[in-house]
Structure 1
Amino acid sequence: MVFEKIKAILAEQFDVEEDKITLETNIAEDLGADSLDVVDLLMTLEDEFDVEIPDSEVDNIRTVGNLVKFIEGNS
């Protein structure tokens, strides 16, 4: 469920097909996200899942799988 929601958000924000997004998808390398994109994405996810992603965690979130794991563990 979390993964499906994240996939939909990423597909919309980065204009990619949901089918191309896997848990191994690297947010910066595979989706072309720069630092502003990441901040925007994290704010969207915080609102969607009612969770706070601290700045200290941002460096640890490189892949879609990292995002799913963080949100599932903190929501």
Structure 2
Amino acid sequence: MAQSKEEVFNQIADIIADRFQVDRETITLQLNFKTDLDADSIDFVEFILELEDTFGAEISDEAAENLNTVGEAVDYIVAHNN
């Protein structure tokens, strides 16, 4: 069953808050993984793997490289998780 954007955002925000030790309330669709979270490539790869596990979605390396913001990740999961 497809999830709404809001449901996907909430799950992704929970993962980010836990993994990157940031205040859950500060996470928005505009949050940028590399500039706002200071995520290095290993952090980002682990985050992508966690998204795949959580949502059962396959995220290619090419697609992952284009996911810069929380909003882009939400859109990708919603579009590829039917």
Q: Which amino acid aligns with 1:14?
A: F
Aligned with residue 50 of structure 1, among 46, 52, 56: 56
Look up the equivalent residue of 1:8 and give its one-letter code.
D
Instruction: Give the structure-2-normalised TM-score.
Output: 0.90
Question: What secondary structure is seen at the aligned counterpart in 2 of 1:23?
Answer: coil
Which runs of structure 1 show a deviation greater than 6 angstroms over 4 or more consecutive aligned residues? none
CA drift at 1:56: 1.1
Identity %: 41
1:1-55 CA distances to partner (integer Å, 9 max, x unpaired)?
Answer: 0000000000000000111000000001101100000000000010000001001
Larger radius of gyration: 2
Q: 1:32 is aligned with what amino acid?
A: D
User: RMSD of the alignment, in Å?
Assistant: 0.5
Query: Gapped runs of 5+ residues in structure 2?
Result: 1-6
| Alignment match, 1:29 | 35
Q: TM-score of the superposition, structure 1-length normalised?
A: 0.98
Alignment of structure 1 residues 1-75 onto 2, 5 Å: 1-75=7-81
Q: Distance in 2 between matches of 1:3 and 1:54?
A: 20
CA distance in 2, matches of 1:23, 1:15: 17
Structure 1 residue runs without a partner (length 5+): none
Report how many residues are paired: 75
